[in-house]
């Protein structure tokens, strides 16, 4: 499928529009650029226009529209400085045009060269495709500790690509949307760019789950009038009292993002109508820095004077800000008509940081004496990046795993506060204290009670780490630590230990070669690596040392003039570890899913059990052929982010006469005969073949789970709707096992 360019304009119209966008850009700065900065901006604009003059986007519009739009986001939505805007204007020149990094340095300076280099993708042909994607992420993150502006410009670049994604092929839309959900949206969240994070997630959902996106969008519009009336009734007494108390403020309403609503519906298996925190009221105070905390709690007392709070839902991120710098006081109160309403109380400074993230944080940094959570997090990233042997894909997975996690607050024996991701163990805490404490950790005392290193911590715990010089990391540790720092240090230690063990294997091989009268040189070691299918000499030595490769049983070789050669017989690795790379010539354009001689053999992935009618994609595996996944499969984002070149377009033919396995769960009020009603509806009304069924009842409420075979999504939806009509049934939902 080729994308049809829809953009049409004359050269004169294009030139006029380019100049118009540039003038708009110059008006977008938070502060007036100096005359020197204006000269650089104009030079960057002219260089970018000239470099991209022959280039067009998929939509057909001049390519220069893209860097101009990215620069606009950087200046207006992130409030960054002119040098960042220069980098945004030039961010694709080195990668896509004749401009070199030396040209950038000569025309603009060293700092501009550094920023553009950080924004330029790795293009080494020595890297496999999946490694190159991960290495590009890693290269970008390497700049984090020195200059976070590289990542901010990259996020602006990705945001504009998402805004213009409609011009891309459907398979590219899926891949880019999945990458955005997997890495860029969490990264925006961690850097405090909540507005950009929300937009990225919504746009990704729009292309991954189009029907769900449209349905939620429509329901938000349908409930707008009712919601507005409720907000007016709720806020009127609060506004009147805030004015009476002499507080300077503004009140805003924030509707939950479409993606957040969808995510909550999926996780809790609830319909749109049961998402109670559909919107939040923001009370934004105009307070001096020294009065911020007192004014926020003053506003809290006013809100709770009128509406009863749910104390279990109180979140104080003013006393303990989130790691991304977020500060706010969140309370949930019972509002009019029995509706729970969330109120967020913050100051203008806090709101600025919430919306514009790291850039705004930096603006206020001089007013804060203590190091911020962002500074601490950046220091941790720097430490993770220090390992030169870290595998790029594993590093990105470890790094990403901590971007979106909730946090807990724990204390050292001396009372120092430490922030860890929710679910962190005593061992995670040990590595948070110091890497040497982590590698020697044998146990811990939590509130003076002895616990193992795998003990999961909770907020408020006071933790004392116990160490031993005889302790060393083992592979099992990776199964229960969750922080990126701990994982990186454990993997690094295990690699060092592996290297030490490999020295013994090296000596064993040296003695074997001596006995065979073979030179111990690479020309003889390399054939041995190929014979045993290992990817490095170190791995060869290691497997010899631990006895996995027994040189006493070495056969199928000949020695001639101190050189060893092997016949074609070689040891094959397990199928799951075989590696294969696919060239562009082998790339498959698409697959039609039918039961009458499909154009390619495929299997339905068990992780998400796709059904005819679901939005799906094909994934080319190493040893099991093509697997068909749902686009909202729990593994989809990771597969598309790391291995986008293996993603294949897939579509149902609509002619398949086949049954698909689906899983539904339901809840209701327990009543005599209800189970019989359900099974009768399944077997009689819909001619369903059930694989398994289970029910559980407790205190008058029952829940159930059924695995059954259906023809397509329409068949399944019809079944769900009929079950919902049964008296006593409260909820019925299809679920994906996660």
User: CATH number, domain at 712?
Assistant: 3.30.70.260
Catalytic-role residue among 95, 240, 305, 496: 95
Q: What is the CATH number of the domain that holds 342?
A: 3.30.460.10
User: Model confidence at 548, in pLDDT bands (50, 70, 90)?
Assistant: confident
What confidence tens digit (pLDDT) does each residue in 317-375 have?
998 888 777 899 999 999 998 888 999 999 999 998 888 776 665 555 544 444 555 66
Tell me if the pTM is above 0.75.
Answer: no
Domain check: are 255 and 145 in the same one?
Answer: no
Residue 608 within any structural domain of the chain: yes
Whether the Cβ atoms of residue 387 and residue 401 lie closer than 8 Å to each other:
no
46 and 178, same domain (yes or no): yes
| Separation of alpha carbons 257 and 203, rounded Å | 11
Query: Per the domain annotation, does 38 fall within a domain?
Result: yes
In this structure, the answer to whether residues 347 and 253 fall within a common structural domain is yes
Pair 588, 567 in one domain: no
Is 525 inside any structural domain? yes
Q: Pick from 344, 232, 229, 211: which is nearest to 277 by CA?
A: 344
Q: Which of 14, 17, 50, 96 is catalytic?
A: 96
In terms of domains, do 477 and 527 share one? Answer: no
Q: Where are the alpha helices (DSSP H) in 165-254?
A: 170-179, 185-190, 194-208, 210-222, 224-244
* 521 three-state secondary structure: coil
- Does 181 lie in the same domain as 53? yes
Q: What is the CA radius of gyration of the chain?
A: 30
336 with 240, same domain?
yes
Residue 685, domain member (yes or no): yes
Active site annotation includes 202 = no
Mean pLDDT score of the chain, rounded to an integer?
82
Same domain (yes/no): 538, 590: no
Residue 1's pLDDT band (cuts 50, 70, 90): very low
Domain assignment present for residue 576? The answer is no
- 3-class DSSP state for residue 161? helix
Pick the closest to residue 718 from 680, 694, 682 (CA basis): 682
**What's the token pair of residue 495?**
């690699």
Highest mean pLDDT among 178-182, 300-304, 422-426, 535-539: 300-304
Q: Which of 440, 401, 398, 433 is nearest to 418 (CA)?
A: 433
The whole domain housing 727 covers 660-734
CATH number at residue 196: 1.10.3210.10
Does 380 reside within a domain? Answer: no
386 part of a folded domain: no
Give the pLDDT confidence of 298-320 residue by residue, as tens digits. Answer: 999 999 999 999 988 899 999 88
Same domain assignment for residues 220 and 99: no
Burial of 426: CB neighbours in 10 Å, binned 0-12, 13-18, 19+: buried
Q: How far apart are CA 490 and CA 429, in angstroms?
A: 13
Q: Is 600 found in the same domain as 540?
A: no
Side-chain-facing half-sphere of 532: CA atoms under 13 Å: 22
Residues 590 and 697 grouped into a single domain: no
* Long-range contacts from 574-581, C-beta under 8 angstroms, 24+ separation: 575/623, 576/622, 576/623, 578/622, 578/623, 579/622, 580/622, 581/128, 581/129
Domain containing 464 — which CATH number? Answer: 3.10.20.30
The domain tally of the chain equals 6
Q: Does one domain contain both 197 and 223? A: no
CB atoms within 10 A of CB 47: 20
Could you confirm whether 95 is annotated as catalytic?
yes
Write out pLDDT tens, residues 607-625. Answer: 888 888 888 888 888 777 8
Q: What angle do CA 373, 377, 382 make, to 5 degrees?
A: 150
The predicted pLDDT at position 375 comes to 64
At residue 85, what are phi and psi to the nearest 5 degrees? -70, -40
Q: Which residues contact 226 (CB under 8 A, 6 or more apart)?
A: none
pLDDT tens readout for residues 461-488? 899 999 988 888 988 898 889 887 888 8
What pLDDT, in 10s, does the model give residues 524-533? 888 888 888 8
Among 290, 306, 287, which Cα is nearest to 345's?
Answer: 287
């Amino acid at each position: 499928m080729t994308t049809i360019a829809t953009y049409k304009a004359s050269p004169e119209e294009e030139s006029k529009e380019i100049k118009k966008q540039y003038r708009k850009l110059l008006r977008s700065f938070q502060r007036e650029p100096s005359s020197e900065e204006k000269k650089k901006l104009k030079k960057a604009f002219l260089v970018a226009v000239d470099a991209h003059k022959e280039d067009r986007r998929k939509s057909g519009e001049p390519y220069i529209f893209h860097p101009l739009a990215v620069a606009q986001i950087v200046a207006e939505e992130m409030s960054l400085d002119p040098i960042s805007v220069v980098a945004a204007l030039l961010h694709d020149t080195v990668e896509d045009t004749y401009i070199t990094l030396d040209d950038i340095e000569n025309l603009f300076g060293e700092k501009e060269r550094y920023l553009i280099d950080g924004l330029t993708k790795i293009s080494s042909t020595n890297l496999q495709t999946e490694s190159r994607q991960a290495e590009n992420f890693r290269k970008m993150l390497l700049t984090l500790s020195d200059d976070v502006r590289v990542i901010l410009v990259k996020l602006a670049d990705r945001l504009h690509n998402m805004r213009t994604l409609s011009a891309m092929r459907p398979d590219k839309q899926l891949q880019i949307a999945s990458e955005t959900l997997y890495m860029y949206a969490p990264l925006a969240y961690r850097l405090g760019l909540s507005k950009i994070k929300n937009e990225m997630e919504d746009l990704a959902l729009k292309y991954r789950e189009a029907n769900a996106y449209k349905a939620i969008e429509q329901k938000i519009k349908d409930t707008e009038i009712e919601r507005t009336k409720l907000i007016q009734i709720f806020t009127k007494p609060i506004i009147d009292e805030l004015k009476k108390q002499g507080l300077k403020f503004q009140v805003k309403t924030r509707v939950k993002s479409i993606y957040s609503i969808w995510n909550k519906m999926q996780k809790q298996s609830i319909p749109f109508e049961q998402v109670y925190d559909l919107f939040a009221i923001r009370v934004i105070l105009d307070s001096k820095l020294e009065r911020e905390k007192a004014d926020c709690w003053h506003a809290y007392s006013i809100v709770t004077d009128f509406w009863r709070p749910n104390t279990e839902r109180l979140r104080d991120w003013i006393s303990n800000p989130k790691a991304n710098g977020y500060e706010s006081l969140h309370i949930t109160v019972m509002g009019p008509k029995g509706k729970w309403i969330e109120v967020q109380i913050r100051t203008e400074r806090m709101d600025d940081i919430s919306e514009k993230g790291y850039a705004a944080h930096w603006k206020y940094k001089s007013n804060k004496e203590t190091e911020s959570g962002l500074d601490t997090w950046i220091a941790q990233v720097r430490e993770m990046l220090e390992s030169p042997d870290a595998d790029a894909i594993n590093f990105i997975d470890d790094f990403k795993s901590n971007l979106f996690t909730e946090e807990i607050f724990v204390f050292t024996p001396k009372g120092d506060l430490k922030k860890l991701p929710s679910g962190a163990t005593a061992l995670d805490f040990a590595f948070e204290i110091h890497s040497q404490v982590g590698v020697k950790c044998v146990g811990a005392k939590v509130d003076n009670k002895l616990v193992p290193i795998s003990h999961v911590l909770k907020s408020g715990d006071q933790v004392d780490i116990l160490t031993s010089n005889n302790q060393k990391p083992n592979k099992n540790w990776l199964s229960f630590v969750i922080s990126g720092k701990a994982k990186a240090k454990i993997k690094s230690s295990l690699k060092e230990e592996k290297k030490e063990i490999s020295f013994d294997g090296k000596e064993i091989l040296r003695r074997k070669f001596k006995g065979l009268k073979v030179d111990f040189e690479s020309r003889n070691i390399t054939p041995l690596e190929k014979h045993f299918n290992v990817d490095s000499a170190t791995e060869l030595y290691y497997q010899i040392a631990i006895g996995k490769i027994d040189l006493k049983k070495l056969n199928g070789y000949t020695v001639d003039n101190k050189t060893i050669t092997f016949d074609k017989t070689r040891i094959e690795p397990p199928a799951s570890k075989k590696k294969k790379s696919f060239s562009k010539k082998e790339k498959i354009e698409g697959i039609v899913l039918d039961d009458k001689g499909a154009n390619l053999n495929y299997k339905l992935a068990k992780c998400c059990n796709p059904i005819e009618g679901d939005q799906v994609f094909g994934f080319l595996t190493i040893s099991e052929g093509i697997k068909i996944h749902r686009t909202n499969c729990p593994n989809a984002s990771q597969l598309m982010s790391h291995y986008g070149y293996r993603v294949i377009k897939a579509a149902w033919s609509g002619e398949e006469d086949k049954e698909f396995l689906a899983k539904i769960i339901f809840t209701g009020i327990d009543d005599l005969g209800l189970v019989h009603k359900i099974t009768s509806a399944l077997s009689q009304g819909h001619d369903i073949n059930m694989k398994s069924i289970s029910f559980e009842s407790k205190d008058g409420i029952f829940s159930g789970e059924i695995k059954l075979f259906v023809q397509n999504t329409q068949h399944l939806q019809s079944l769900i709707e009929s079950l919902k009509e049964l008296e006593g049934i409260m909820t019925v939902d299809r679920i994906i096992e996660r």
